[in-house]
Chain A
Amino acid sequence: MTPEEWTAVRLSLLVATTATLASLPFGIAVAWLLARRRFWGKSLLDTLVHLPLILPPVVTGYLLLISFGKRGPIGAFLDEQFGIVFSFRWTGAALACAVMGFPLLVRAIRLSIEAVDTRLESAAGTLGAHPFLVFATITLPLCLPGVIAGAILCFAKSMGEFGATITFVSNIPGETQTLPSLIYTLTQVPGGDAGAMRLTLVSIALSMVALLGSELLARRIGVRQMAA
């Protein structure tokens, strides 16, 4: 593989890992809200979370560009107040991936929280545990397989995200040129076929490792909880 290809693979791993880890706390919070709470605007939140799954990725990317771009209202605010810049940076790629992976993350976690018996939670309450501690000591450990499954899905989605990323942060080698972006570039230039094929194989391998890993983890936790 060429140094350019290695850079793209490393960048993709960095972007996907960052996107997954950064969205995980929010994903758990939103999943818990949707699974356990009733509040005004719940279906609106549900729709918003799922929107990136249905919208064309280019549209999501464009929306990110006009809100988180340098002149966008949120982007400008974050730049002035905290010095955080998303546009045309790898952090922007991570943001795009996080948004695109979020519905998958929330969906898996929500289902597994719904499967946790609320009677166990109220029992923990009668033993003196504050609702936050009930969540940390009972709900979270019991829905861990779902959290892991959701995180792996989000990671895999991030590794393959193309449309929103390229629209939002373009295709800058070394900064925002992720694995799918480079494959796309290589297919556009003469003689790029071999490189595209190498990256395709890398892509397949990474996806399979992620899937296998999640399967093994889920099984181990499943076994532990069966034995529990």
Chain B
Amino acid sequence: MSLEVDVDHARESFHLSARFSAVPGLTALFGRSGSGKTTLVDIVGGLIRPDRGRIAIDGQVLVDTARGVFVPKHRRRIGYVFQDSRLFPHLSVRSNLLYGRWFAGGGGAAANLASVVDLLGIGRLLERRPDSLSGGETQRVAIGRALLAQPRALLMDEPLASLDEARRAEILPYIERLRDEAGVPILYVSHSVAEVARLATTVVILSEGQVTAVGPVADILSQAEAGEGGSVLAATVARHDAAFQLSVLATAAGELQVPQLSAPPGSAVRAYIRGRDVMLSLKPPEQISALNVLAGRIVSITPSAGGAQADVRLDCNGANLTARLTAKSVQRLALAPGRPVYAVIKSVSFERS
């Protein structure tokens, strides 16, 4: 299944122009507020009719302004999880979940309900009313409701934005399972680097209505315009160090020690390292407190912050790592592409998302 989007939409002084395709997995639409992310998913979901463009799923055209095609939202079979969940207040959780199934044809429905309820851990809530649920529960039910309509693609508009840290941490694993098990393209709107780094397969960067970059998460998030100039390392949990409450991650660049994770050894995780948390040294540092030292070679040096700083990209045994340094440090150490360096990262600079 794949979702192709190529649309233009003007509204007052704002012009949205986006072109990308999404395959099964999670495609993050990433950008500041006001960059047109929600407008874009509303267009895909059929809530807004674009001025010009074409949207197709699995080759079936949903919108083609040139040929006058506009499939209304109730015939698109695209699930939509809203930021404000929008559960129906007069129906129980069970009826909310089953609402879309009436219209989807209901094939294999009973097994479906059981598996979705299990996937999202909402079995205890079925007879409750929406207003008696916590924020995290509400959003899980909203996700389940969208899934049970048997969508061909899933739109999620900042589903975690209205939740606090603890509730987010509660839902993130479910979204990861969804990404890996649902088998449909997920379009996920977010302005949080941490969320995108953890969840996304592909990232589409929107800036003032324009798509400025599309690509795999590791490549895109390390670009300076994506925000903080950080990098994403694919990793697996190697072991836990219970005595010091640390976890050891194995990455292509070497081992990383981070604050203890709940994921069991062997599970795949992603480490997001902000550029400003990385220090560079020309020699292997000795007798320092930082636990992580990765050897690498400088690939490029890009000035940022008007020349006062620079983003130094490293190749650490195939993995990309970016360090943000002052221009003064770059000059003092005579850093230049090709030079071998050691990247130093404090374990406490990692945050769990």
Chain B residues with CB under 8 A of A200 = none
- Give the interface size bracket for A toward B: 20 to 34
Asked if A142 CB lies within 8 Å of chain B CBs, one says yes
Asked if A172 CB lies within 8 Å of chain B CBs, one says no
A227 touches B88 (CB 8 A): no
A125 to chain B, nearest CB (A): 4
Query: Within the assembled complex, what's the spacing in Å between the Cα atoms of A226 and B130?
Result: 10
A66 to chain B, nearest CB (A): 45
Query: Within the assembled complex, what's the spacing in Å between the Cα atoms of A224 and B146?
Result: 25
Query: Within the assembled complex, what's the spacing in Å between the Cα atoms of A129 and B90?
Result: 17
Binary B-proximity of A92-126 (CB < 8 A = 1, otherwise 0): 00000000000000000000000001011011111
A119 touches B74 (CB 8 A): no
* A126-B90 in contact given A227-B129, A228-B130 (Cβ < 8 Å): no
Asked if B89 CB lies within 8 Å of chain A CBs, one says yes
Segment 120-165 of A: residues with Cβ below 8 Å from B: 120, 122-131, 133-134, 137-138, 141-142
B78 touches A120 (CB 8 A): no
Number of A-B residue pairs having CB atoms within 8 Å of each other in the complex: 74
Chain A residues with CB under 8 A of B73 = 122, 125-126
Binary A-proximity of B59-98 (CB < 8 A = 1, otherwise 0): 0000000000000111111111010101011110000000
* A227-B131 in contact given A122-B47, A127-B145 (Cβ < 8 Å): yes
Chain A residues with CB under 8 A of B74 = 125-131, 134
Query: Within the assembled complex, what's the spacing in Å between the Cα atoms of A224 and B131?
Result: 12
B47 touches A228 (CB 8 A): no
A75 to chain B, nearest CB (A): 42
Query: Within the assembled complex, what's the spacing in Å between the Cα atoms of A2 and B73?
Result: 63
Asked if A225 CB lies within 8 Å of chain B CBs, one says yes
B47 touches A129 (CB 8 A): no
Chain B residues with CB under 8 A of A120 = 86, 88-89
Q: What are 30 A-B residue pairs whose CB atoms fall within 8 Å in the complex?
A: A119-B84, A119-B86, A120-B86, A120-B88, A122-B47, A122-B73, A123-B80, A123-B86, A125-B46, A125-B47, A126-B47, A126-B78, A126-B79, A127-B74, A127-B103, A127-B146, A127-B149, A128-B77, A128-B149, A129-B103, A130-B103, A133-B103, A138-B88, A141-B90, A142-B89, A226-B131, A227-B131, A228-B91, A228-B129, A228-B131
- Give the interface size bracket for B toward A: 20 to 34
Query: Within the assembled complex, what's the spacing in Å between the Cα atoms of A224 and B91?
Result: 10
A228 touches B104 (CB 8 A): no
B90 touches A225 (CB 8 A): yes
* A225-B84 in contact given A128-B100, A128-B149 (Cβ < 8 Å): no
Closest to A221 in B: B90
Asked if B45 CB lies within 8 Å of chain A CBs, one says yes
Query: Within the assembled complex, what's the spacing in Å between the Cα atoms of A224 and B129?
Result: 10
A228 touches B90 (CB 8 A): yes
A116 to chain B, nearest CB (A): 10
Query: Within the assembled complex, what's the spacing in Å between the Cα atoms of A145 and B47?
Result: 28
Query: Within the assembled complex, what's the spacing in Å between the Cα atoms of A142 and B86?
Result: 14
